[in-house]
Amino acid sequence: MSSFVCSKCGRLHTLEEFRESRYCRECGKLMTYRDRADINDAQKTGAEAQPPKDGFLDLFPYEPYAEQLEFMKDVETALRGGRVMIAEACNGFGKTACALAVALSLGRRVIYATRTHGQVRQVLHEVQQINKRVEGEYSAVALASRQNLCLNDACRRLPTFEAVEACRVLRQTRRCIYRTKFALQMLELPRVLTARRLIHYGKERGICPYFLSREAAKDSTVVVAPYQYIFNESIRLKVGLEIEGKILIFDEAHNADKIGQEVLSDTVSERGLRNAGRELEMLGYSPDFTDALLDYLEGKVQEGPMLKSGPDFHEDLENAVGDDLSLLVDFYGPVVDEIREYKISRGQVPVCYLNGLLKFLSLVDSSEGESYVAIYRRSSSGMRMIEYRCLDPSLAVKPVIESASSALIMSGTLSPLGHFAEILGLGDAVCRTYPAIAKPENIRAYVDTSVSTRFQERNEEMLRTYGERISRLAKEVPNGILIFFPQRALMKQALKVWLRSGFIKKRGGSLFLGEKRVFEEGRSARENAEVVSEYKRAAKTVEGAVLMAVFRGRNSEGINFPHEEARGIFNIGLPYADYKDPVVKAQIDYLNKKKPRLGNLWYVMDAFRAANQALGRGIRHRNDWCHFYLMDRRYATHWRFISRWAVENGIEEIRMNRDS
């Protein structure tokens, strides 16, 4: 059996002692796999050292908890066996470091999918921490858009589509001073390339950071990329992102299904059609087919949204233009380059609306029509448009997953995991859920079955009941409280009712629930950042504070509220999608056809994912604590949709009487 010798004091440790704690029992020095006694003996005799049995432990940059060890062992088994694993573990669990340690220990390159800039920074930080253990062995880079990496003012401020074309023109006409061709090995780059480092090196050496990141990604051990880069084949080809033979890790994957659908969907508007027609006229081509589509759009889009099946929509378009869509796309494809060259010759940004239209028509012509629906509607400004929407996320997700050597899909809110796997087309995936790393006594869940935000019960009397019960419960919660509502309108209505009923009082221009100052989620990113900053300061005072927010809003995902910032989280009702919405109805019907009741389950899962995300704002580490108040009877009847880490200690029913 292996033993380990502390390199500082020489104390011998058994394998069990090493696995229990990697700190020397004598002097406290952190030991690594290199301290194994048999490795030292092998080095003395010139023999080749064998790879560690628990290689991920040699890379994991922290003292692992038992829950993390269980997670890493399960991930190693799945990835080593070429399987797909779907894992649910709460925020603050350390999923990123755990996943990277295991994946890198298997000796394969890793593609790590993220959704936010904060997650990108976290992944690169963890690679840096791992490198401290193995003397800078692993390289990593994040792929990002031109808006985030471009140094040319003429391009950086443009929308994504226009920026791509502007960049191409600036390079062709040599009007960009930043080089896009260079010898990467001559640059002496750091092993981990953050966006800040890419921009710094770009400015310092006259190199385009965007193309530098793409070039570095070709040889990096870890490539961090947005979901869209991975699910969209055309983007993968453009940036040279190859999936085959690599380990895929999807972090915060609770919206992977929706992102997959968005990647395979597209929209055409009357403005886009008119601009495409003008481009054709500009070069002397007849705009007959764009005019025909414009007439079709104007005739179909009424006041409310209307749906048509994918096959029927395809037939409608061909009837409208009087030709096969594939022939139309092939005929006008070369005209796109003519339009761009014409605009370049006149010093214009070579945006081509015809190209966007042809991409839309190509999608309609080449897609599996039964998995799509056309939505005729108006934008918020009243402009007519048609969205061709994919109803099957597996069409985007499954092919990518199958091309990788193995994959890990993880988030804090995937329950029930089996149904989530089915929706993604990954019915054979290994599904695991893990307890919170916080001590059991630090998480408590309570449910109030006397209230509900169901449409039939949503009235002023019910809101008064909510106000009464929350005002009482809030007295028991120190410091910060988060209160989440299904919609902003309901939050505003509740605030008015609670003010009239005296549960919330106005003092000195501010609102108070008891002694806690009340803050409302901001509408814009800037306004909300100011609100949250002020709330967090107030939450740490003796009096505490309350932040009223919305499920799926700015504060229910992506922002953390550790320690005193969230000692209690109140979920007011459940954020169900509007069942009468034709798109929601189409999604339910489609999934029900794939498998009986799968659509109905999706409808419930969609609401609970948002509710679980809100609950996940509060626990960030082992000694943190937060209590969850589930203020709707539907939490009791659908408890299996609540993430395990939130209710693993059971759910206690809230009971109150008028005199309490």
Beta strands in 6-50 (DSSP E): 12-14
Contact 567, 625 (CB under 8 A): yes
Which of 276, 264, 267 has its CA nearest to residue 234? 264
Contact 590, 261 (CB under 8 A): no
SS3 of residue 391 by DSSP: coil
Domain ranges of the chain: 1-50, 287-366, 440-653
As a whole number of angstroms, the distance between CA 119 and CA 587 comes to 30
CATH architecture for residues 440-653:
3-Layer(aba) Sandwich (3.40)
What would the two tokens of residue 472 be?
């009482």
SS3 of residue 126 by DSSP: helix
Side chain identity at residue 390, one-letter code: C
What's the pLDDT band for 369 if we cut at 50, 70, 90? Answer: confident
Contact 31, 14 (CB under 8 A): no
As a whole number of angstroms, the distance between CA 145 and CA 229 comes to 10
As a whole number of angstroms, the distance between CA 444 and CA 568 comes to 10
Averaged pLDDT for residues 330-350: 88
Averaged pLDDT for residues 229-239: 89
The DSSP-derived string for 304-348 is S-EEEEHHHHHHHHHHHHTS-HHHHHHHHHHHHHHHHHHHHHTT-
What's the pLDDT band for 31 if we cut at 50, 70, 90? Answer: low
As a whole number of angstroms, the distance between CA 583 and CA 588 comes to 9
What's the pLDDT band for 118 if we cut at 50, 70, 90? Answer: confident
Comparing 117-121, 358-362, 463-467, 563-567, which segment has the lowest mean pLDDT?
Answer: 117-121
What would the two tokens of residue 73 be?
């062992």
Contact 220, 246 (CB under 8 A): no
As a whole number of angstroms, the distance between CA 643 and CA 653 comes to 18
Q: At what angle do helices 488-501 and 460-474 cross, to 10 degrees?
A: 70
Q: Are strands 516-520 and 510-513 parallel, antiparallel or unpaired?
A: antiparallel
The CB density around residue 44, as the number of other CB atoms within 10 Å, is 8
Task: Enumerate the H helices of 476-623 as residue ranges.
Answer: 488-501, 525-539, 582-594, 598-615
Averaged pLDDT for residues 250-254: 95
Residue entry with tokens 């012509």: 365
Contact 462, 452 (CB under 8 A): yes
Contact 597, 414 (CB under 8 A): no
pTM for the predicted model, two decimal places: 0.86
DSSP 8-state class, residue 34: G
As a whole number of angstroms, the distance between CA 123 and CA 100 comes to 8
Q: Are strands 545-550 and 516-520 parallel, antiparallel or unpaired?
A: parallel
pLDDT score at 40: 44
pLDDT score at 50: 37
Maximum Cα interatomic distance, the chain, rounded to a whole number of Å: 86
Q: Cα-flanking dihedrals φ and ψ of residue 273, to 5°?
A: -65, -45
What's the pLDDT band for 2 if we cut at 50, 70, 90? Answer: low
As a whole number of angstroms, the distance between CA 483 and CA 490 comes to 12
Residue entry with tokens 């909510």: 466
As a whole number of angstroms, the distance between CA 55 and CA 33 comes to 8
Q: What is the pLDDT of residues 586-630, one digit of tens each?
A: 999 999 999 999 999 999 999 999 999 999 998 888 889 999 999
Length of the chain: 660
